[in-house]
Structure formats: C-alpha cells, structure tokens
Structure 1
Amino acid sequence: MHARVVAATTTALLGAMALLPTSEVRAAGGSERPLAIAHRGAAAYAPENTLPAIDKAAAMGFSWMENDVQRTEDGELVVLHDDSLRRTTDVERVFPGRAPWKVKDFTAAEIARLDAGGWYSPAYAGTRVPTLAQYMRRIEHNHEKLLLEIKNPGLYPGIERQTLKVLGHEGWLDPAHLARRLIVQSFSADSVRTVHTLAPGVRTALLGQPAMADLYRYARFADLINPSYSTLSRAYVSTVHALVGPHGAPMRVFAWTVDDGRRARSLAGYGVDGIISDRPDVVRSALHDA
C-alpha cells in the first residue's frame, strides 16, 4: 500500500480516534490498574521476540505484546531486538567468517537458517527469527495487541513506510486495529513523526524521557511517552497526562522494563498507564495485591 493511500485512509479515522476507549489504558488521574505489557513476548519464559514467546504470553493471559523490528540486507523486516544476530542466534556457528553479524548484512533466507531459541533453552532449539509478516499473523491468531518498536531507523532508511506497508497488508490499518490493538514506537522522534505523517490514524509513542518543558512539542505527533522506570517521577507522569496528543486524548505513559513487584507498585502509584515487563505475571500479581 502506497504511503499516500495509507495516509488518506487513516486521516478519515481521526475523528473516531479522538474517542478512543479508555479501558485499553489507564486514564489520567483514573483508578484503573496499569496494563502489564509482555516485553518481547514473555521474554523471561521463552526466547525473546519469537513466536513461542508471544504464544507463552497469550497462554498466561496477556494481550499486549512489545516487539522490535529490524531489516535484512534484501529488505525483509524481521523481529529482533539487537542490530546484530550474535546474542540471540547461532549465527557465529553457521556463518563463522561474517563478523560482526549485523542483521543488515544478511539476507532473509540466511537468517531463516538460524536457531533463535537454543541459546535460551534446549527446549526451544530450532526456533526461528520471525519475519514481521509471520509475527503479525501469529499475533492476529492469538487475538493479541501490539506495541511495535522501529529499531535503529538510521540504519534502515524508509523503514517506517515499509513497516506500515506490512501492517496494511496484514489488515492492521483498519479502524478496529487502529483504535484498540496497535501502537508504533521508537527512540527516534523523527521516526515517530514520520509514522504519524504517513499514517495519521496510527497511535504512536516516543521512547525515552524528553525534558518536561519540551513535552508539548512531542504531543503534536506522539500519543504516549514511554520512559525507563529508573528516572521516572510522579511529577513527570502528571505533566505528560496534562497534555493532549494528536488524537485528542490525554497523553499516556508506559514505563519499561520492570520485573519486580515492589517497583511495579511504585510506578502504579505514580499513575503510569502501562508497565512493560519480561515477567508480566509478576507485575500483574503485584498490582492485583496492591
């Protein structure tokens, strides 16, 4: 789908998007518990960013998944956190002479040969790096929702347009998915702005923690600010909540990456709307007992 077609289609949704259901995320100042979001799938219990990881999270009762997207040498989008294949595959054994084993230096067919599960546990040996299309089909099959991170956009010019093309082809740019099941995020403000420009109906998030005085600038194209838990404060969350994002709703905050109950309860007290975790079950239990 050409970007102009995407933009034309999604622009028509803006009025509806201004009325997003607040049940999806905690409303500013509300009493609902934050969402527990499965980081790279249930990454503490299955190899991260693989189909088994999102299957495990679904089996545990979680609906929101977080993932990461990179691009191969021949232009295929794959789901992988690092820009190198070394940490989470057996690429050093399969292709020993091709250090530093960057994703962008391998074709999709070469990456499809790699074991992306054996490093985690012998039980997952033979697990593959999924393409974004494969991943989206499994997410759809599991009735899950997706917080999709565009990784390293500086390495992959045009990855925003290409990601939207895959999402559109897989049926994820229709009103139902846009309203309830998809958020696209990046550490790059330019990348987030590009997604918003190409597909205005897509909810977007900026990773990191801009200065409070600058937050209003990001409210023009980002619906959420998603910082590390380690530097977050109640005042910062309140400042974000006081701003209105591009879809006419209060901006929201998802904090990452939190794997213990005490910290999850503290962040809930700050008023965050979501907590991204490798152990979402720990977060859920902590918030239920709070």
Structure 2
Amino acid sequence: MGARRFVLCLLAGLLFALPSPAGRHDTQAPGWFRYAVGDFTVTALQDGVINLPPGGFKGIPAEQIQALSERAFSYSAKGVPTSVNAYLVDTGAHRILVDAGNADCYGWKLGGLAANLKASGYTPDNIDIVVLTHLHGDHVCGLVEGGKKLFPKAVVWADAKETAYWLDAQNKATPAGARTAVALYGKDFRTFKPGDAIAPGMTIVPTPGHTPGHTAFRFESKGAVLLMFGDIVHNPFVQFAYPEVSVMSDFDRAQAIATRQALFAKAAAENTAVAGSHVAFPGIGRLRKDGTGYVFVPVEFTPQP
C-alpha cells in the first residue's frame, strides 16, 4: 500500500470513529454571559436550576401565583424552575465574584458555577474578592469544593449583621455547608458594614428583609451602572408585577416587601440595569413601571460589540 493510500485509509477510519452528528444531544452550552458596565466586564455565571413551589409565596393566592407562572410557560408539577446565578465583575484591578452558588446545600445538586467560570475564561485562582449578598446556602456553599477552598486567593466579605445572625451557634436554621465555608476561609472571611469601601467602583447597598443583613452591590464605571440585588426577587413572573408578594424564607416579610418596592421604584426611575440571583439566566435587565407593578426587560443574549 502506497503512503498516500495509507493516509487516506487512516483518515477514513478516524472519520468513521467520530460520533455521528445525527441523533439526540442532551448537553447545553456553558452557562455564562458577558455584559459591559463602562470599563468593567461582568460575567453572569449559572450555578444551576431549582424548583420553587407556588405555595412558598405569600401575598396573593397560590392559584394566582401558579396561573402567572403558567402564563409565562414556566410551571410544572415540580414547581417553578428558578435559576441560581452569580456574577463576576472584572474591574481590571480586581476580579470580584458576587455570590458563590449552592454546591450541594439543602440537598440540591447544583454546583455548575466552577465549570461555567472556567468555560468563560477564568479560573478560581483569578478571583481575589468574593462578596456575599447574604448567607443562605445557595449563595455561600459554593465557596467550597471537595472540602477545600474553591477560591484560594480570595478574601470573602459579608455584612456584619448578617454574619452575626447566621453564625450564631444557637441558630439551627444555618446550613452546615455555610458554616463549613466560613470556617475554611478563616482570616480571609471578613465582614463589612454599610458605608464601608471594599473595592473602587463598588458600593454597598443595604437591602434588609429577606435576611437581617441582605445586601445589594452597585457597580459603576464611566457613568454606566449595574445593581446586583441578590434575593430581592425569587419568582420573576410574580414579584415584578406584584412587589407585595413575599417568599416564605423571608426573615422579615414586611421589611422585604418595603425594600423591594423601594428598590424597584428607584431602579425604574433612574433606568438602572439590575441583576438578580433568581431571575432567568443571565438575570440582567431593566425595570419599567407598569400600573401598580413593574415589567422586567431582559438583556438580549447576543455577543457584545
């Protein structure tokens, strides 16, 4: 057999060995999305999806909540599919991760954040600051992977009041995974209070109610602004239109409602872009006033120019 024929036969064999493009494919593209805020580059990262029951919301009847979710084609017998998002802000000087995902807290098997971070072009070693909107497990447990720090070079920050509440030894509601994460980071876990400055271009915005020290983070560069509001919203098909609807996990329902109404009004009036931990991925958009409620207009999932 001549050399040319041998090479052709070898190539043909390799082609037949490759998987056929036909047939069923169940994998999704990586869950990351890039968004520009002035000179800052924001990367939305999906940790996974959970199902929240309509009965977990209070303020309007469960049947109405179900109807609103069904109207948005986002309801099944398992509940309302709810995204768990985190956000990486690359300021040039710092790489700031807002929330760390769930990992396996609460029995939910999520933990896609680390893989999506790598798919987006970053590694855990690149992160030098992590700021937590609050200490519920689906925001803090992802700090740990395989019993070790996932972000070995990062300093982790949380509100002082929030930390005192959840790390109280008498608080039986604190997920074990959250305590483990805080303990592993040791001296690299620090607390802030309103008015403190952690990094240039980032402002701490107290948003209490869902938890005692729930916090939003405002990022601004060259006049562009993005407000990351954490768990202000759990069901986007309901709570944007009806801000008076609370969720059962709210620490102080009345305060959570007041905080949400004030934040929505300000964001809509100022045309501020917002990002939500439990808004359909990538969870970034703007609010428009609509009657007694609001309409959320998501960003287009297209490449940035």
Query: TM-score by structure 2 length?
Result: 0.31
Higher-strand-fraction structure: 2
Query: TM-score by structure 1 length?
Result: 0.32
Relative contact order higher in (CA < 8 Å, ≥ 6 apart): 1
